[in-house]
């Protein structure tokens, strides 16, 4: 019982660090692997290529722009 409580307590403390990816794409259907990495195995073809890029907050002067590729 002690180990179960300790495990649950540790998981509760680590919850903040267990968040999934924070994808910032307007068209989430164009980036399925960013939303759910488990979808990498769901493909019936031979080859798959995917490229996504977004520059967020780049038009605001003096801001730290968020970029992902």
**Does pLDDT of 11 surpass 70?**
yes
40 found inside a domain: yes
Q: Is there a contact between 68 and 24 (Cβ–Cβ < 8 Å)?
A: yes
Q: Quote the pTM value.
A: 0.30
13 found inside a domain: no
Q: How many folded domains does the chain comprise?
A: 1
At 5, list the tokens: 């409580």
Question: Distance (Å, rounded) from C-alpha 47 to C-alpha 57?
Answer: 34
11 found inside a domain: no
64 found inside a domain: yes
Q: Kindly indicate the confidence band of residue 27, based on its pLDDT and cuts at 50, 70 and 90.
A: low
60 found inside a domain: yes
61 found inside a domain: yes
Q: Kindly indicate the confidence band of residue 6, based on its pLDDT and cuts at 50, 70 and 90.
A: confident
Question: What distance lies between CA 18 and its chain's CA centroid?
Answer: 11
C-alpha separations of 34 from 10, 11, 22, 23 in Å: 27, 24, 8, 6
Domain of residue 62: give its range: 19-68
**Does pLDDT of 28 surpass 70?**
no
pLDDT, residue 12, reads: 76
């Amino acid at each position: 019982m002690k180990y179960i409580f300790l495990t649950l307590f540790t998981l509760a403390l680590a919850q903040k660090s267990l968040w999934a990816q924070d994808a910032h794409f307007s068209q989430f259907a164009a980036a399925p692997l960013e939303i759910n990495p488990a979808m990498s195995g769901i493909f019936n073809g031979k080859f798959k290529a995917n490229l996504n890029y977004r520059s967020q907050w780049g038009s605001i002067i003096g801001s730290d722009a968020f970029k992902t590729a």
